[in-house]
Amino acid sequence: MKKYKIAFVFIVMLLAACSPTAAPAATMEPTLTATEMVPTDTPEPTFTPTPDYPVEGIGPVDYPENVNPLTGLEVADPAILAQRVAAVKIENLPREHRPQSGLSAADIVYEYYTEFGSTRFIALYHGQVPEKVGPVRSARFFDIQAVQSYKAVFLFGSAYSAVYSRMWNSDISSRLVVEGPTTYPALYREAVGGENMLFANLAQLPDALVRLGIDNQPQDLSGMFFRKGMDVNGYPANEVTVHFSNAVYNRWVYDGESGKYVRYVDQSNAGTVDEENYDVLVDQVTDEAISADNVVVLFVPYSYYVKNATEEVMDVNMVGMGDALIARDGQLFPVYWKRDTSSSTLTLVDGDGNVFPFKPGNTWFEVVGSSSQKVQTDDTWRITFAIP
């Protein structure tokens, strides 16, 4: 089997990258040393067949009928795949609204920078239909990219006027699901801690889509390639930290027993690395730790649509190709993300353009600016968000 060739190495960044903050800027000392993809003291990789999964992998096209093209895994009910992906906008701040509901059921989650040091999530559901997802919040420009990529229906609560305008004038305009009598109880309100919050019930979504006249037929989701075994070694990666700002930072810690990365999140603002305070994020519904089989960092060009003392509106371009990192099985691999058109499902490729395998399972994408800093210290990695 042809080995994956990674054609680029990291550039050592000696200057701290500028990052939006909600507190004084953090300081960092380590720098990344560029090395070969397969270090000289690393044994030649061996490929071990996995009898419970096709040795050649699944995808990036022609998925078996009962396999979810977003996870590479069989689903309990194949009928679930006979409908569109559901994309739900979920908040990350304020911390008092955590833990969120339904994140553990998502096939894919994108976390991205919104404004003034904050992030939000857009979660994609195709293999499960949780009855409580949220809190559901307002849309941003980035969400359009994700909804187009997965041909999804989009559940959200309101939006900035320019975001609304772009959505209504795009090809996703017929797939927008907002709160109202027609969408209830797929979108419903619940009192939580004295606040009236919006949530999604995906079990009720098909009926709502019928009332809205939205096409809910399954779509072509070709693009992701899954394989359990690897025939190339990466860098050791037992810990991956993504620092969006002094208010929002997270850490993925590899659990060798489960083979997953467990998500730890900020508990307070931190002006320095030493002040950072983490705890495991759990799902409000299941009380289980949020984890991912794949943690992918995407380096993409952010730009300011509006920036002044009271407003910060970000735009993101995710059509084309750019640098990426994928952490799986306790290792990290430099790759490229690739999305040829707005309707293409995002995929990963190596330096020769060959599709790179996701581990079968769920994926979290951390979307950072293209000039974000990458730092390795032994088996720990730190990504610091920056906008050019």
pLDDT tens sequence across 92-115: 999 999 999 999 999 999 999 999
CB count in 10 Å sphere of residue 12: 11
Q: What is the pLDDT of residue 20?
A: 39
Please check the confidence at residue 49 and state whether its pLDDT lies above 60.
no
In the chain, what are the domain boundaries? 79-212
Structure tokens at 123: 């979660």
In the chain, % of residues over pLDDT 70: 87
Chain centroid to Cα 319, Å, comes to 16
* Cis amide prior to 24 (ω within 30 degrees): no
Beta bridge partners of 316: 302
Altogether, the residues listed in the chain come to a count of 388
Q: What share of the chain is helix, strand, coil (3-state, %, to 5)?
A: 10, 35, 55
**Alpha helix segments (H runs only) across 66-224:** 141-149, 161-168, 205-212
Residue closest to 187 by CA, chosen among 285, 104, 92, 89: 89
E-state strands within 5-142: 86-91, 108-113, 119-125
Q: Indicate the fold that domain 79-212 takes in CATH.
A: YerB-like fold (3.50.90)
CB count in 10 Å sphere of residue 43: 7
Please check the confidence at residue 19 and state whether its pLDDT lies above 70.
no
- Provide CB contacts within 8 A for 172, sequence distance 6+: 144, 147, 148, 154
State the pLDDT confidence band at 51, using cuts at 50, 70 and 90. Answer: low
Average pLDDT, the chain: 89
Rounded Cα gap, residues 368 and 214, in angstroms = 33
Q: What is the pLDDT of residue 231?
A: 87
- Provide CB contacts within 8 A for 169, sequence distance 6+: none
Q: pTM higher than 0.75, yes or no?
A: yes
Rounded Cα gap, residues 345 and 59, in angstroms = 12
Rounded Cα gap, residues 220 and 326, in angstroms = 24
Chain centroid to Cα 28, Å, comes to 25
Rounded Cα gap, residues 180 and 186, in angstroms = 10
State the pLDDT confidence band at 332, using cuts at 50, 70 and 90. Answer: very high
Q: What is the pLDDT of residue 52?
A: 86
CB count in 10 Å sphere of residue 229: 18
